[in-house]
């Protein structure tokens, strides 16, 4: 079950990740002296530290939705566990291969994001079997213990040059996996577990179509406020403590954890409310009411409809203009519509059959050329204005638009994009260094000016959509399809 809100957020995380990696690996030290230590926040305008928390939080949300679908299909618990563990092991193995072949062999135990997400999947398979009260306690323990563990492990000693540097020994490998690596279990495990725990509340659905949805938004908004307030208090009270009050990604401080959890949760709440729920409401209405009533309103049950806010009316006008411009471009350049349009928001396009006796099949109040499902009411019968049909139209325009289709493509191939964007900008860096000076890392962070790196990042993101559309159309294998086949 794919949610457009999750796809949009994951696409945003991918774009920020590509932008940050291109600038950091190609340009972060450009024009600076060789002795200058460049930290992760050297460029204030870069969205450094935003992509990884959002991506790992969404991995927990996606696993929870996947788990719900498998359980609804009646899949055995043992089979679900096997598939989860296989996917986790696949990601861990892929992470090691990525460190060796995309980076360098000495970076094998960097404990990057792939090894972390693979480990988190295996741990989530254990967490899902626990009582509902245990995961929140686990979250609290991980957040509280992480600063102390970072101090005991002497975290700064492994980050002297603003990147993770370790010795190939058992103690350093284990400490890197648990505490001092790029993405260790402490404290990064907070994000996927929080996504797994909070997904049922954020994505809650009613038991039946005529029942009101659970009123949990206020409690979730209160939680967002508490997380943001806790992050602000820690930064104001203990601003000089690296693992606690100072906003740092390496190490991931407690204020950073709380603040990014608030950002991720608030983003999912808002987008789910604006993007996912109108489609579900429209589907419920169409499934429970006759087509004409669903399109024009139901005076007997006015509580099923609500007024469209003014800002949504403005968005509706903008989206209508966008669709008109897209239609003009399609007719001019011969482009085709996106193929993946949700059935819940797709309009019936088939013309109604003619009635017996030569009648055209029109209802008395219908207009020529319109399908029967969307017949207009009689002028004297005033339909309920601004009903769910208008909101469904708003959602349909958004869900069927090209930006939404691009988000689905990038989200569906997020793992391939993570690998590909590293190959595209890291391998030429190593090859050029070997060809000119004999050392692959000689131009690391100093090869290009910052505007050139930003331009290359934007070009990569724009070119990736038609690339993966072509891959899907031809049925070529990807890393995601390989993982599904093995798992």
pLDDT (0 to 100) of residue 327: 67
Convert the pLDDT of each residue in 181-214 to its tens digit. 999 999 999 999 999 999 999 987 644 444 555 5
Q: What are the phi and psi torsion angles at 478 (to 5°)?
A: -130, 175
Q: Which two tokens stand for residue 1?
A: 């079950």
Q: State the Cα angle at 337 between 334 and 340, rounded to 5°.
A: 155
From 139, 135, 6, 134, select the one nearest 66 (Cα to Cα).
6
d(CA 409, CA 480): 12
Residue 165 corresponds to which tokens in the numbers above?
Answer: 């540097």
Name the residue with higher pLDDT: 102 or 383.
102
Closest by CA position to 55, among listed 109, 122, 2, 6: 6
User: How many alpha carbons lie under 13 Å from residue 231 in its C-beta half-sphere?
Assistant: 18
Confidence check: pLDDT of 300 > 50: no
Q: What is the pLDDT of residues 323-346, one digit of tens each?
A: 666 666 666 555 555 444 444 444
Please answer whether residues 422 and 98 qualify as being in contact, where contact means their C-beta atoms are separated by less than 8 angstroms. yes
Query: At CA 214, angle to CA 209 and CA 217, rounded to 5?
Result: 135
Evaluate if residue 485 carries a pLDDT over 70.
Answer: yes
Contact (Cβ atoms closer than 8 angstroms) between residue 125 and residue 86? no
- Check: CB of residue 264 under 8 Å from CB of residue 228: no
CA distance 456 to 450: 10
Tell me what pLDDT residue 181 has. Answer: 95
pLDDT at 431: 95
Of 121, 47, 78, 25, give the one whose Cα is nearest residue 415: 121
In our burial notation (b when 16+ CB lie closer than 10 A, e otherwise), range 296-317 reads: bbbeeeeebbeebeeebeebbe
pLDDT digits (tens, 9 = 90+) for 235-263: 888 877 767 888 899 999 999 999 999 99
pLDDT at residue 7, as a whole number? 95
Q: 135: helix, coil or strand?
A: helix
- Which pLDDT score, from 0 to 100, does residue 369 have? 45
d(CA 8, CA 93): 28
Q: Is 60 exceeded by the pLDDT of residue 432?
A: yes
Rg (CA), the chain: 26
Phi/psi for 115 (5° steps) reads: -65, -35
Provide CB contacts within 8 A for 63, sequence distance 6+: 84, 121, 124, 192, 195, 196
Give residue 217's pLDDT.
76
| pLDDT at position 479 over 90 | yes
User: Domain map of the chain by residue range?
Assistant: 4-283+414-486, 289-337+386-412
Q: Which ranges constitute the DSSP H helices of 334-364?
A: none
Q: What is the pLDDT of residues 389-408, one digit of tens each?
A: 444 444 445 555 788 888 99
Report the C-alpha gap between 338 and 403 in whole angstroms: 10
- In terms of Cβ atoms closer than 10 Å to its own Cβ (0-12, 13-18, 19+), residue 485 is exposed
Contacts of 166 (CB under 8 A, 6+ apart): 109, 158, 172, 173, 176, 180, 181
Residues found in the chain: 487
Query: In whole numbers, what is the pLDDT of the chain averaged over residues?
Result: 80
Q: What digits encode the pLDDT tens for the residues 53-108?
A: 999 999 999 999 999 999 999 999 999 999 999 999 999 999 999 999 999 999 99
């Amino acid at each position: 079950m794919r949610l457009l809100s999750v796809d949009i957020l994951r696409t945003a995380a991918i774009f920020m990740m590509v932008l940050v990696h291109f600038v950091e690996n190609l340009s972060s030290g450009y024009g600076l002296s060789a002795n200058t230590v460049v930290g992760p926040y050297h460029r204030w305008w870069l969205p450094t530290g935003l992509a990884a928390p959002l991506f790992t939080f969404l991995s927990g949300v996606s696993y929870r939705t996947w788990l719900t679908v498998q359980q609804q299909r009646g899949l055995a618990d043992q089979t679900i566990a096997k598939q989860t563990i296989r996917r986790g092991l696949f990601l861990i193995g892929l992470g090691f291969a990525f460190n060796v072949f995309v980076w360098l062999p000495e970076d094998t135990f960097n404990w990057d994001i792939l090894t972390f997400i693979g480990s988190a999947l295996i741990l989530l398979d254990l967490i899902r079997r626990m009582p509902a009260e245990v995961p929140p306690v686990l979250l609290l323990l991980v957040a509280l213990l992480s600063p102390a563990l970072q101090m005991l492990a002497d975290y700064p000693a492994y980050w002297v040059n603003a990147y993770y540097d370790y010795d190939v020994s058992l103690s350093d490998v284990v400490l890197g996996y648990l505490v001092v690596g790029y993405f260790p279990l402490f404290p990064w495990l907070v994000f996927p577990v929080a996504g797994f725990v909070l997904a049922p509340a954020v994505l809650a659905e009613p038991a039946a179509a005529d029942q009101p949805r659970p009123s949990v938004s206020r409690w979730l908004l209160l939680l967002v406020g508490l997380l943001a307030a806790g992050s602000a208090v820690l930064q104001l009270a203990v601003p000089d403590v690296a693992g606690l009050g100072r906003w740092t990604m390496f190490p991931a401080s407690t204020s950073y954890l709380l603040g990014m959890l608030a950002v991720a949760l608030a983003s999912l709440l808002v987008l789910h409310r604006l993007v996912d729920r109108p489609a579900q409401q429209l589907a419920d209405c169409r499934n429970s009411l006759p087509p004409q009533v669903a399109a024009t309103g139901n005076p007997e049950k006015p509580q099923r409809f609500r007024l469209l806010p003014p800002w949504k009316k403005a968005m509706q006008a903008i989206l209508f203009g966008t669709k008109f411009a897209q239609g003009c471009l399609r007719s001019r350049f011969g482009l085709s519509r996106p193929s993946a349009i949700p059935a819940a928001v797709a309009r019936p396009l088939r013309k109604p059959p003619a009635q017996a006796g030569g009648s055209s099949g029109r209802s008395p109040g219908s207009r020529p050329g319109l399908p029967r499902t969307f017949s207009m009411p009689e002028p004297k019968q005033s339909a309920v204005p601004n009903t769910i049909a208008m909101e469904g139209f708003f959602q349909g325009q958004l869900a069927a638009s090209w930006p939404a289709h691009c988000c689905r493509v990038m989200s569906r191939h997020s793992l391939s994009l993570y690998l590909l964007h590293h190959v595209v900008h890291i391998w030429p860096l190593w090859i050029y260094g070997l060809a000119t000076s004999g050392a692959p890392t000689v131009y690391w962070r100093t090869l290009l000016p910052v505007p050139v790196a930003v331009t290359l990042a934007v070009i990569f993101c724009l070119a990736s959509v038609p690339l993966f559309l072509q891959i899907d159309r031809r049925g070529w294998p990807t890393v995601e399809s390989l993982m599904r086949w093995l798992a």
